[in-house]
Amino acid sequence: MKTIQFREAICEAMSEEMRRDESVYLMGEEVAEYNGAYKASKGMLDEFGAKRVIDTPIAELGFAGIAIGSTMTGNRPIVEYMTFNFSLVGIDQIISNAAKIRQMSGGQFKCPIVFRGPTASAGQLGATHSQAFESWFANTPGLKVVVPSNPYDAKGLLKAAIRDDDPVIFMESEQMYGDKGEVPEGEYIIPLGVADIKREGTDVTIVSFGKIIKEAYKAADELEKEGISCEIIDLRTVRPMDRKAIVESVKKTNRLVVLEEAWPFGNVATEITYLIQSEAFDYLDAPVVRINTADTPAPYSPVLLEEWLPNHEDVIKAVKKVLYK
C-alpha cells in the first residue's frame, strides 16, 4: 500500500486507463496546460499529448456535446467540470443525449463517458457554487452516479466508471482533493453499485456518501464513548444503489439515520427512506431520521453556512432520537 492524496488517486485512475486504452481521453477547462483546476490531471498533458488531454473554452454545453458525440465513433471520453454547478450549462446534453443514446438508437450505440468534478459546498463559495446535484442526475434512467469519500474508493470506482459502457456521473469535492489515504500499489477496480460498511455496529445504521460521511465518523466516535454502537454504510454509488446492503443492516440494527448534504425535498435520503419502509418496515423500532442541509440556497456568511450544513452534532442528536435517548 502507498499513501496518496485524493487528487493523485483521480490522476492515477485516469492515467492508468489511458495507458490501457487509446480510446480514452480527457477534456475540460484547464485540464491540460494548468494541470487541472485542482491538479487532478498533473503531468497528463506531458505524457499523453494535446490530442488526448484537451483544454476547452468556457463552454460546457459545447464540449459536453462534442464528447458525447465522440462516444458514437468509438471513444471513451472523460469530461471534467470545474464544478458540477457548471454542468447545468451542459445538462441538456447529459440528460437528453448521453442518458438516452442507447435506448433511442435501439441499442446500436452505447455511450461510454464519464462526467467528473466536484459537487456540493466547499466553504464560502456562495449559493451558485455550493449545490449538490446527486439526486438530480440519479433521477435520470440511463445515468450512473458515483460519489466516493476517500482516495482508495475514488481510484477503484473511477477505473470502473471509465470502463463502463454507460454514462457515469462521478462526483468529487474541492475539500477532499488534499485528503490522504492508503491505495494499493497494483491495479484494482471497485465495481459500481456496491456499498461498503465502513464501520460495523449493532444499535443504529447510518447511511451516507461523499465528504459529509466524515461527520458520521466523528459522531460514531463520540457515541461509542456512551456505549452506542453505530454501523456506517458508505453508498459509494448512488445509482445503482446497493439496496440489499442497506436493508440487511437495518434488519440487524432496527434503526436508520441517513446523512446527506442536499436540500431536503426529493433527495437520495428520501429514496432510502422509502426503500426501508417498503422492504424492512417490520424491522424498524423507530421512524427513519434523515439529516440534510437547510431548505434554502447556501449562505455566504460563515456563521450561517455552519448552521446550514449538517454536522456531527446533528448526527448524534438523530441517533439518540431513534434510540429514544
What sign does the CA torsion over 78, 84, 88, 91 have? positive
Residue 207 Cα distances to 87, 265, 312, angstroms: 27, 18, 13
Q: Which three cell numbers stand for residue 117?
A: 468534478
Q: Among this protein's residues, is 271 annotated catalytic?
A: no
Segment holding 76, helix H or strand E: strand 76-80
Q: Which of 29, 60, 174, 215 does the annotation list as catalytic? A: 60
Q: Which three cell numbers stand for residue 113?
A: 463517458
Residue 222 Cα distances to 207, 208, 226, 300, 315, angstroms: 17, 17, 7, 29, 10
Q: What whole-number distance in Å separates Cα of residue 39 and Cα of residue 67?
A: 21
Q: What whole-number distance in Å separates Cα of residue 53 and Cα of residue 178?
A: 22
In the DSSP assignment, the letter for residue 183 is: E
Q: Among this protein's residues, is 312 annotated catalytic?
A: no
Contact (Cβ atoms closer than 8 angstroms) between residue 157 and residue 236? yes
Segment holding 145, helix H or strand E: strand 144-146
Q: What whole-number distance in Å separates Cα of residue 287 and Cα of residue 284?
A: 7
What sign does the CA torsion over 297, 299, 304, 309 have? positive
Q: Which of 129, 134, 174, 312 does the annotation list as catalytic? A: 129
Catalytic residues: 60, 129
